[in-house]
Amino acid sequence: MNALPKNDPNVAGKHPPAEHTIRRIMLPAIIFFFAGAALSAVCFSRNAWHHAADTASEAESPAALSDATVTILRHLESPVELRYYSVLDASSVPDSVQAYAGRADQLLAQYEQASGGKIKVVRCNSNASANAAEADGIHAFNLDKGNACFLGIAVVCGSQKESLPHLAPEWEQALEPDLTRAMARAVDRAVQAKPGAQPPARVAPATLVEVRRAIPNLEEVSLTEGTKVLRDAALIQFQEAAANMQAQVKEAQQRYLADKDNQSEAVQQAATEQLRKIQAEGADKLQQIALNSRAQIAALQQLKKAAP
């Protein structure tokens, strides 16, 4: 998962998803965690299919949110505010960056629409926004060419804040997963910070058995080490699910291209529906991996708490 490009190497609160330790994992955060990398695979596959079908270029407008993203947004437990800073000096910022800023704005609008009212986008595009941008961790650029410019997103959930300090066109494909991860961290910390947060539900005995099978030397490892073992195992499952999804998409694409000129509109529509089905099934699989991972980590916490 660390192979995904970042919009900025200094993203505030950045953690290598496969390495950093989490003190408490809630369902929305787990779903976001796995989906962050999944979105890249889904977006790549979707883009390849659209190219094969001769649809519009991504340079004109951002692709629709993936099924995985839509599923994730439905699990938001706390409202999120996305502050979009787009303060660009037309005399010093290339047209390509300004066009990208427009596509990023459209992407945020899709997040807002798909969230069912849980996400609010605040657009800050005047020079008066400069101080607010710096306070939200957004980096100024082009200072050597003219007025200070800002292009970034602050993710705010309660008292928690994450930021994508400097969006760049060359990392456009990473924007959706990067934004997803930032939201995950902010939502997770906000949920943990709520007074009287509910304790994890009782763990099924079968899940306790699964944890002991995954960590035979349970008594010898710490909660942190055990959590990492379980997360690494879940990551392997995720990678296998993502690879399987990509293989199915590739196969569907090859079938489409094999006889493209002779296909009727109905056949083309059926092929498109097949791709959507593959994506939906992939999203369901990722969600199930997230649920299992959450249950196993809760079981591990219970076992460690009960240990003498």
Rounded Cα distance between 147 and 157, Å, is 30
pLDDT reported for residue 127: 79
Number of Cβ within a 10 Å radius of residue 235 = 18
Q: What is the CA radius of gyration of the chain?
A: 21
Contact call for residues 242 and 285 (beta carbons, < 8 A): no
pLDDT reported for residue 15: 41
Average pLDDT of span 165-187:
87
Kindly state the DSSP code that residue 149 receives in the 8-state scheme: E
List the one residue out of 58, 11, 56, 64 whose CA is nearest residue 169: 58
The residue assigned the tokens 């069912």 is 116
Percent of the chain as helix, strand, coil, to the nearest 5: 60, 10, 30
DSSP symbols for 89-111: -TTTS-HHHHHHHHHHHHHHHHH
Range with the poorest average pLDDT among 43-57, 130-144, 227-241: 43-57
Average pLDDT of span 128-142:
90
Q: Residue 122 belongs to what H/E stretch?
A: strand 119-124
Strand pairing report for 119-124 and 149-157: unpaired
CATH topology of domain 27-193: Glutaredoxin (3.40.30)
Dump pLDDT digits (tens) for 250-299.
887 777 776 666 667 777 777 777 777 887 787 778 778 877 888 888 88
pLDDT reported for residue 93: 94
Domains of the chain by residue range = 27-193, 205-306
Identify the top-confidence range among 6-15, 24-33, 141-150, 235-244: 141-150
Q: Is 82 helix (H, G, I), strand (E, B) or coil?
A: strand
- How far, in Å, are 204, 221, 247 from residue 239 at the CA level? 26, 25, 12
